[in-house]
Amino acid sequence: DIQMTQSPSSLSASVGDRVTITCRASQSISSYLNWYQQKPGKAPKLLIYAASSLQSGVPSRFSGSGSGTDFTLTISSLQPEDFATYYCQQSYSTPVTFGQGTRLEIK
Protein backbone atom coordinates (compact mmCIF):
# COMPACT_ATOMS: atom_id res chain seq x y z
CA ASP A 1 0.00 0.00 0.00
CA ILE A 2 1.12 3.57 -0.67
CA GLN A 3 1.67 5.54 2.52
CA MET A 4 0.72 9.21 2.56
CA THR A 5 2.40 11.46 5.11
CA GLN A 6 1.22 14.99 5.77
CA SER A 7 3.09 17.73 7.55
CA PRO A 8 2.52 19.41 9.81
CA SER A 9 -0.10 17.44 11.74
CA SER A 10 -1.44 20.68 13.16
CA LEU A 11 -0.94 24.31 12.40
CA SER A 12 -1.98 27.58 14.03
CA ALA A 13 -2.45 30.58 11.78
CA SER A 14 -4.26 33.90 11.59
CA VAL A 15 -6.84 35.25 9.19
CA GLY A 16 -5.01 36.62 6.17
CA ASP A 17 -1.98 34.33 6.53
CA ARG A 18 -0.56 32.27 3.70
CA VAL A 19 -0.48 28.61 4.67
CA THR A 20 1.18 25.60 3.06
CA ILE A 21 0.51 21.95 3.88
CA THR A 22 2.76 19.22 2.53
CA CYS A 23 1.91 15.66 1.54
CA ARG A 24 4.49 13.02 0.68
CA ALA A 25 3.80 9.64 -0.94
CA SER A 26 5.89 6.55 -0.21
CA GLN A 27 6.28 5.98 -3.97
CA SER A 28 5.59 7.94 -7.11
CA ILE A 29 1.89 8.58 -7.74
CA SER A 30 2.32 10.84 -10.77
CA SER A 31 -0.34 13.56 -10.29
CA TYR A 32 -3.02 11.31 -8.77
CA LEU A 33 -3.25 13.41 -5.63
CA ASN A 34 -6.39 14.98 -4.20
CA TRP A 35 -7.02 17.34 -1.30
CA TYR A 36 -10.10 17.46 0.93
CA GLN A 37 -11.34 19.82 3.63
CA GLN A 38 -13.33 18.50 6.57
CA LYS A 39 -15.11 20.54 9.20
CA PRO A 40 -16.26 19.03 12.51
CA GLY A 41 -19.29 16.78 12.12
CA LYS A 42 -19.32 17.16 8.35
CA ALA A 43 -18.29 15.03 5.40
CA PRO A 44 -15.04 15.80 3.60
CA LYS A 45 -15.25 18.19 0.67
CA LEU A 46 -13.08 17.91 -2.45
CA LEU A 47 -10.89 20.97 -2.96
CA ILE A 48 -8.15 20.01 -5.41
CA TYR A 49 -7.88 17.01 -7.73
CA ALA A 50 -5.10 15.75 -9.96
CA ALA A 51 -2.62 17.65 -7.79
CA SER A 52 -3.43 21.12 -9.09
CA SER A 53 -6.96 21.28 -10.53
CA LEU A 54 -9.43 23.36 -8.55
CA GLN A 55 -12.78 21.67 -7.97
CA SER A 56 -15.76 23.65 -9.20
CA GLY A 57 -17.02 26.15 -6.65
CA VAL A 58 -13.84 26.14 -4.54
CA PRO A 59 -12.36 29.61 -3.94
CA SER A 60 -9.25 30.49 -5.93
CA ARG A 61 -7.24 31.14 -2.74
CA PHE A 62 -6.79 27.36 -2.65
CA SER A 63 -4.11 25.92 -4.90
CA GLY A 64 -2.20 22.69 -5.24
CA SER A 65 1.11 21.69 -6.77
CA GLY A 66 3.51 18.82 -7.07
CA SER A 67 3.99 15.51 -8.83
CA GLY A 68 5.71 12.23 -8.17
CA THR A 69 6.03 11.98 -4.40
CA ASP A 70 5.86 15.55 -3.08
CA PHE A 71 2.78 17.75 -3.07
CA THR A 72 1.58 20.96 -1.46
CA LEU A 73 -1.73 22.61 -0.70
CA THR A 74 -1.54 26.38 -0.33
CA ILE A 75 -4.15 28.74 1.00
CA SER A 76 -3.10 32.21 -0.12
CA SER A 77 -5.03 34.28 2.42
CA LEU A 78 -6.78 32.42 5.22
CA GLN A 79 -10.44 33.17 5.78
CA PRO A 80 -12.38 32.33 8.95
CA GLU A 81 -14.23 29.50 7.17
CA ASP A 82 -10.93 27.80 6.23
CA PHE A 83 -10.18 26.60 9.75
CA ALA A 84 -10.69 22.85 9.37
CA THR A 85 -8.81 19.60 8.88
CA TYR A 86 -7.22 18.91 5.51
CA TYR A 87 -6.48 15.48 4.04
CA CYS A 88 -4.50 14.42 1.01
CA GLN A 89 -5.43 11.22 -0.83
CA GLN A 90 -3.75 9.21 -3.55
CA SER A 91 -5.96 7.74 -6.26
CA TYR A 92 -3.04 6.17 -8.17
CA SER A 93 -3.60 2.63 -6.96
CA THR A 94 -5.95 0.50 -4.90
CA PRO A 95 -6.21 0.66 -1.97
CA VAL A 96 -6.54 4.41 -2.19
CA THR A 97 -5.01 5.92 0.92
CA PHE A 98 -5.28 9.17 2.84
CA GLY A 99 -2.80 11.21 4.78
CA GLN A 100 -3.34 11.44 8.53
CA GLY A 101 -4.73 14.95 8.26
CA THR A 102 -3.57 18.47 9.10
CA ARG A 103 -5.64 20.39 11.61
CA LEU A 104 -5.62 24.11 10.87
CA GLU A 105 -6.47 26.16 13.93
CA ILE A 106 -6.97 29.82 14.64
CA LYS A 107 -4.02 31.52 16.31
Partner 1 sequence: QVQLVESGGGLVKPGGSLRLSCAASGFTFSDYYMSWIRQAPGKGLEWVSYISSSGSTIYYADSVKGRFTISRDNAKNSLYLQMNSLRAEDTAVYYCARETGAVTPFDYWGQGTLVTVSS
Q: Does the footprint of partner 1 cover residue 37 (CB under 8 A)?
A: no
How far, in Å, CA of 57 to CA of 35, rounded? 14
Question: Would you say 10 or 77 has its CB closer to partner 1?
Answer: 10
How far, in Å, CA of 31 to CA of 28, rounded? 9
How far, in Å, CA of 70 to CA of 58, rounded? 22
Of the candidate residues 100, 105, 106, 107, the single one contacting partner 1 (CB under 8 A): 100
Q: Does the footprint of partner 1 cover residue 32 (CB under 8 A)?
A: yes
Q: Does the footprint of partner 1 cover residue 40 (CB under 8 A)?
A: no
How many residues at the interface with partner 1, by CB under 8 A?
Answer: 23
State the residues that interact with partner 1 by CB under 8 A: 32, 34, 36, 42-46, 49-50, 55, 87, 89, 91-92, 94-101
